[in-house]
Amino acid sequence: MQKILSAVTAVVLLAIAGAPAAQAQTAERFGLGMFAYQNRTFVGVVVRYPVEPQQIGGFVVELPAAAKAANVAGIPGDLLSIMDQWSTVGPKIKQIVAQVAPTTAARRPAYVYDYKAVDALRPFVPRLAFYGFSNYRPVPGTPPPAEARKVPPSMPGLWERAASDDRPQNPRLFMIPNTPEVFIGDGDPVINWHADRRKDYEYECEMLGIVGRPMRRVPVDQVKNYMFGYTNTNDISDRQERAPDPIRQDWLVQKGWDSFKPVGPFVVPAEFVDPLNTALKMTVAGTLVQNSSTNQTWHSMYEYAAYLSNMLTLPVGTVIALGTPPGSHGGLGRHLIPGDVQVCSYEGLGTLTNTLVAEKPAVTTSSR
């Protein structure tokens, strides 16, 4: 896949060598993902990348080669396994980051590449996937509804509301099929299936949280300790749904098609992210359509995760999408059309770019 490139500048310093694993804590921000370079696919560490939304740059460290050079063993070759073993693998990766990140562009090791020279692949396929909806407050200044929305009661055993909680809704999420065909990576095309007959496609730029420890009935104030990291996702929707079937609402038809969930370009560990206050921007066909922050949600990432954990055990690698701010429904002034480039990015999480591509007209199917 090819990225849409933008010019950035990276300033780097002199190398540091030989930090022992016991001292492998670093304040150096980094991301983890899967990458391709010269016909090789590898797990990589992204360092010195711009944190501003919509900017692309930095460096990618080929982790297996870097580990070999540092005489560090036991780092798995895929991101999901790294998450499973983070308590032992994390310090080793931080040791490598502390050694490699400060190297200069001129003197950096052969296993460190310009970010723009590699392809970012899908980071991983989730073990479970939940996406939120209707979770952002209206834009300030939006006229209030004609009738004030009633405060809903608690949901016994699932979501207990404090007496002072006057939010007009409880957490709202739905499940997504967790298949490699549904979840795609940076630069992969979003397919407009049956493009001759289905044209009501819509974008939604969302923060995606990833569970790093199994969760079961975890209180909100403890959820932070269970999250592995965060990335971007574009929750593509088919707004035609089941029409003209009189029962239109169908989450599977609306949200669950192959290619409908771009994710990436990489995952940033939770210690570098404040999911309660992270800015985001989304452009579609060059138009800024979303410009907001996660501080505008009705329910936070931590509340979403706690709510879900009251129903089922969330394994490592579960993903939770926070919902999308205003600007999705009608922000572009039209539905997506083939060729529209969608750029979704949250502060510090890199930039996720995908283009809508039409499927060639297919033979009409029938129930007979």
Same domain flag for 211 and 336: yes
H runs (alpha helix) in 59-202 = 63-69, 79-84, 86-100
Q: Is residue 211 part of a domain?
A: yes
Please give the pLDDT value at position 365. Answer: 58
**DSSP codes, 162-200:** PTT---S----EEE----TTTEE-TTPPEEETTTTT---
pLDDT at res. 141: 72
SS3 assignment, position 282: strand
Examine the domain organization and report whether 196 and 341 are in the same domain. Answer: yes
Looking at the structure, tell me whether residues 60 and 178 fall in a common domain: no
H/E element, 227 = strand 227-234
Q: Does a structural domain hold residue 367?
A: no
Which CATH number fits the domain that encloses residue 331? 3.90.850.10
Residues 305 and 38: their CA atoms lie apart, in Å, by 39
* 277 located within any domain: yes
Counting other chains too, the contacts that 23-26 makes at CB distance below 8 Å and 24 or more residues apart are: 23/95, 24/91, 24/92, 24/94, 24/95, 24/98, 25/91, 25/94, 26/94, 26/97, 26/98, 26/101
Q: State the pLDDT at residue 3.
A: 45
Do 195 and 101 share a domain, yes or no? Answer: no
Q: What is the pLDDT of residue 132?
A: 97
Looking at residue 147, its pLDDT comes to 77
Closest residue by Cα to residue 300 from 106, 126, 102, 167: 167
Same domain, 239 and 104: no
More confident residue, 87 or 363: 87
Q: Are residues 183 and 282 in the same domain?
A: yes
Other beta carbons within 10 Å of 54: 16
Tell me if 14 is assigned to some domain: no
Same domain, 80 and 204: no
Lowest mean pLDDT among 213-217, 245-249, 287-291, 323-327: 245-249
Mean pLDDT of 187-202: 95
How much of the chain, in percent, has pLDDT values that exceed 90?
80
Does residue 224 lie in a domain region?
A: yes
pLDDT band at 17 (very low <50, low <70, confident <90, very high): very low
The CATH number of residue 37's host domain is 2.30.30
Q: Are residues 75 and 211 in the same domain?
A: no
pLDDT of residue 22: 35
* Rounded Cα–Cα distance for residues 279 and 61 (Å): 26
Q: Is the residue at 363 inside a domain?
A: no
Structural domain count, the chain:
2
How many other β-carbons are positioned within 10 Å of the β-carbon of residue 111?
19
Backbone phi and psi for residue 271, each to the nearest 5 degrees, phi listed first: -65, -15
Domain co-membership, 116 together with 180: no
> Are 111 and 186 found together in one domain?
no
pLDDT band per the 50, 70, 90 thresholds, residue 330 = confident
Domain holding 302, by residue range, is: 128-140+151-158+168-358
| pLDDT (average), residues 185-202 | 95
- Integer distance in angstroms from the first to the last C-alpha of the chain? 39
The more confidently predicted of residues 20 and 347 is: 347
Could you report the per-residue pLDDT of 102-141, keeping only the tens digit for each? 886 778 999 999 999 999 999 999 999 999 999 999 887 7
Do 180 and 250 fall into the same domain? yes
Higher pLDDT, 24 or 78: 78
Give the C-alpha separation, 221 to 270, whole Å: 15
Do residue 75 and residue 175 come from a single domain?
Answer: no
In a domain, 113, yes or no: yes
Q: How confident is the model at residue 148 (pLDDT cuts 50, 70, 90)?
A: confident
Q: Is residue 145 part of a domain?
A: no
pLDDT recorded at residue 143: 75
Neighbours of 247 (CB within 10 A): 8
